[in-house]
Chains A and B, each alone.
Chain A
């Protein structure tokens, strides 16, 4: 009995230490001057080459990312952040920025998961200092509805019908290969007038905003500001199940990636 008690005490202690350690690691540093200064050092070592010293997306290496095509590196001083969980036209949340820094953007920006969590938070604090709107606005994430319904042939068929109803095929093509007539005609441009290609939905690893069902629903609801990809929040708010069905259909387009 005494042995059991000791084991329980030991287990509880280990659990408490583990939780404390996890909490410490995940703690977001206060957005004060010291944090921003630490962030500046990291930014100038890691981010400046593409995003530029003043965060305008005009770093010395940035131009080559897309050469004459979109995307070019983000101009932090402007509006139109693509990767958000917030309403279209809004700023991203800190968590959105953290997700982007951590995951990177497939094809364009490497993951900086090699930085510690604290370092990532510090650099985010510095990046936000480029845009005064971050001081006055408190971006709030959209509610993405309840838990994802289980995928089934019916739900995927419903998703396919939504795909057609929302005219996704105009850009992404009937098979989702990014070869819709609008994209093929070269008519898709980003906010700066650069040509942009519709995402090939059969290659989920190339999805810029992530490829989990949650990521897809978020993209559908928020859109990708600054690109032709609109927000479908107006059509899908209150019908969150339909957003999930559409996401399930999109994932079914790539063989083997069905959730």
Chain B
């Protein structure tokens, strides 16, 4: 870690301590579900956005309290009686911003830098992402969720997730259906969109042409188990797929239909679904639909302990292309586990990505298997201080002349000023040797971030 990073970290810690002293310690219920049910965020979260078993069951049940089919009646008024104040029971906002980013970056002549320069700089950026979401129940067993995200740096706004749920079809917990654009991994032991260490997107060369390698300047920092893992894989329109981008079952948002339930009691959760696939924001251009199935075993009884293990199979059909523009079937097989005891939350995910048949045009040039391993842990060391650690190992596949494996370790300290307002400092470092090359997986040696995470 550079001297500057250390100084920034110390400044953040001092600022957090001072700010904490001026904040009343009483827990406040702020985000929409907490407002609606008049409970603290921690009724459903271990540390937002990560859910505890109660929150998981609330989500499974289509935003109804576990074991009930309340339809969100709690505090709900008749349509004619609804006031503007009631809207706050359904709408929430999240703003996650890195205030500073400090890169230790070994690539020569990175974009925007003067020739002959190794980028090693600190920059102020705020905010990175702004999300507005609305969710709840329309009536008994019918729920909805819409999440609108704005990427400030990328300048894009999109519906990241938007779906309707039909719950408890048949009998209680037999089948819940989600239709729309949703996170397929929402019930997996390690959920894509619920991370303490937020994704940091990679830096690529601009103006890439379809079906040609797009220069990766700087590696992305995201869970390797969820990542695309392949170099030289393309969307059907020719856009290069980043090997660091969350994808397939772990995409965080795909359009389709999902069914899940617990017909055999509390021990097992099943999930099956069909998706457009093809990594497309909207519509479907691939020849077939992607399908998946997930089974999860839960233990959650007593002693402040819970654990679960889950496995999934994701089968893609013509959901990507290789450099020769041939269609490939891109599949994923994953295992994940999580154990929580009091303040300690440990989770891990391993995934194998497999291209069914390597097209003849790239035979011998393309490794059709790739794996990703992510291990994480969060623990509160005080009532307001959360420490998170994450290890990522990506054994990349794809074009042999492009692929490069990567291993990163990230550590974050998050200080909650209130239950819904936190500041954080984070450092990620590359475990693998630099090799003195410009390869993205190796040239990012160290990254430091500090920022805020606000939900209201």
A58 at the B interface (CB under 8 A): yes
**With a CB–CB cut-off of 8 A, which chain B residues contact A69?**
25, 27, 383
Contact of B69 with A60 in the complex, beta carbons under 8 Å: no
Task: Supply 9 A–B pairs (Cβ within 8 Å), ascending by A.
Answer: A45-B66, A46-B67, A48-B300, A49-B52, A50-B54, A52-B302, A58-B302, A60-B302, A106-B39
Contact of A67 with B343 in the complex, beta carbons under 8 Å: yes
Contact of B380 with A106 in the complex, beta carbons under 8 Å: no
A204 at the B interface (CB under 8 A): no
The 6 closest A-B pairs by CB, nearest first: A114-B70, A45-B67, A46-B67, A60-B306, A61-B52, A61-B54
Contact of A46 (CB < 8 Å), options: B52, B66, B340: B66
Contact of B54 with A58 in the complex, beta carbons under 8 Å: no
Contact of A67 (CB < 8 Å), options: B26, B42, B340: B42
A110 at the B interface (CB under 8 A): yes
A226 at the B interface (CB under 8 A): no
Residue of A nearest to B44 (CB): A61
Measured in the bound complex, the distance between the Cα atoms of B300 and A58 in whole Å is 11
**With a CB–CB cut-off of 8 A, which chain B residues contact A112?**
65, 68
A10 at the B interface (CB under 8 A): no
B239 at the A interface (CB under 8 A): no
- Knowing A49-B52, A68-B382 are in contact, say whether A42-B67 is a contact too (CB < 8 A): yes
Residue of B nearest to A186 (CB): B25
Within 8 A of A (CB), among B285-330: 300-306
**With a CB–CB cut-off of 8 A, which chain A residues contact B237?**
none
A15 at the B interface (CB under 8 A): no
* Shortest Cβ gap from A41 to chain B (Å): 8
Measured in the bound complex, the distance between the Cα atoms of B48 and A49 in whole Å is 17
Residue of B nearest to A62 (CB): B304
* Shortest Cβ gap from A110 to chain B (Å): 4
- Knowing A106-B38, A114-B73 are in contact, say whether A60-B52 is a contact too (CB < 8 A): yes
Tally of contacts, chain A with chain B, CB under 8 A: 125
- Knowing A65-B42, A113-B73 are in contact, say whether A46-B300 is a contact too (CB < 8 A): no
* Shortest Cβ gap from A109 to chain B (Å): 7
Residue of A nearest to B345 (CB): A64
Contact of B39 with A49 in the complex, beta carbons under 8 Å: no
* Shortest Cβ gap from B416 to chain A (Å): 10
Q: Which residues of B contact A (CB under 8 A)?
A: 25-27, 29, 37-40, 42-46, 52-55, 57, 64-71, 73-74, 172-173, 266, 300-306, 340, 342-343, 380, 382-383
**With a CB–CB cut-off of 8 A, which chain B residues contact A104?**
37-39
- Knowing A46-B67, A113-B74 are in contact, say whether A53-B301 is a contact too (CB < 8 A): yes
Residue of A nearest to B70 (CB): A114
In which size bucket is the chain A interface? 35 or more
Measured in the bound complex, the distance between the Cα atoms of B46 and A225 in whole Å is 28
Residue of B37, B43, B46 most packed against chain A (CB within 10 A) = B43
Q: Which residues of A contact B (CB under 8 A)?
A: 42, 44-50, 52-54, 56, 58-69, 104, 106-115, 178, 197, 200, 205
Measured in the bound complex, the distance between the Cα atoms of B38 and A52 in whole Å is 22
Residue of A42, A45, A62, A65 most packed against chain B (CB within 10 A) = A45
* Shortest Cβ gap from B368 to chain A (Å): 40
Contact of A110 (CB < 8 Å), options: B39, B266, B305: B39
Measured in the bound complex, the distance between the Cα atoms of B65 and A42 in whole Å is 12
**With a CB–CB cut-off of 8 A, which chain A residues contact B340?**
60
Residue of B nearest to A203 (CB): B26
Residue of A nearest to B140 (CB): A114
Contact of B40 with A107 in the complex, beta carbons under 8 Å: yes
**With a CB–CB cut-off of 8 A, which chain A residues contact B69?**
114
**Given A66-B42, A106-B38: 17 more A-B contacts, CB < 8 Å:** A44-B67, A45-B66, A46-B67, A46-B68, A47-B67, A49-B57, A49-B66, A50-B54, A59-B54, A60-B301, A61-B306, A63-B342, A107-B27, A107-B40, A111-B37, A114-B65, A114-B70
Residue of B nearest to A198 (CB): B26
Measured in the bound complex, the distance between the Cα atoms of B67 and A42 in whole Å is 6
* Shortest Cβ gap from B187 to chain A (Å): 16
Residue of B37, B57, B302 most packed against chain A (CB within 10 A) = B302
Contact of B39 with A115 in the complex, beta carbons under 8 Å: no
Contact of B53 with A205 in the complex, beta carbons under 8 Å: no
Contact of A58 with B303 in the complex, beta carbons under 8 Å: yes
Contact of A108 with B43 in the complex, beta carbons under 8 Å: yes
Measured in the bound complex, the distance between the Cα atoms of B29 and A200 in whole Å is 14
Measured in the bound complex, the distance between the Cα atoms of B266 and A199 in whole Å is 37
Contact of B39 with A54 in the complex, beta carbons under 8 Å: no
* Shortest Cβ gap from B185 to chain A (Å): 20
- Knowing A110-B37, A110-B74 are in contact, say whether A52-B383 is a contact too (CB < 8 A): no
Residue of B nearest to A43 (CB): B67
Measured in the bound complex, the distance between the Cα atoms of B305 and A62 in whole Å is 10
Contact of A205 (CB < 8 Å), options: B27, B38, B42, B55: B38
Measured in the bound complex, the distance between the Cα atoms of B380 and A66 in whole Å is 12
**With a CB–CB cut-off of 8 A, which chain A residues contact B39?**
104, 106-110
Measured in the bound complex, the distance between the Cα atoms of B43 and A109 in whole Å is 8
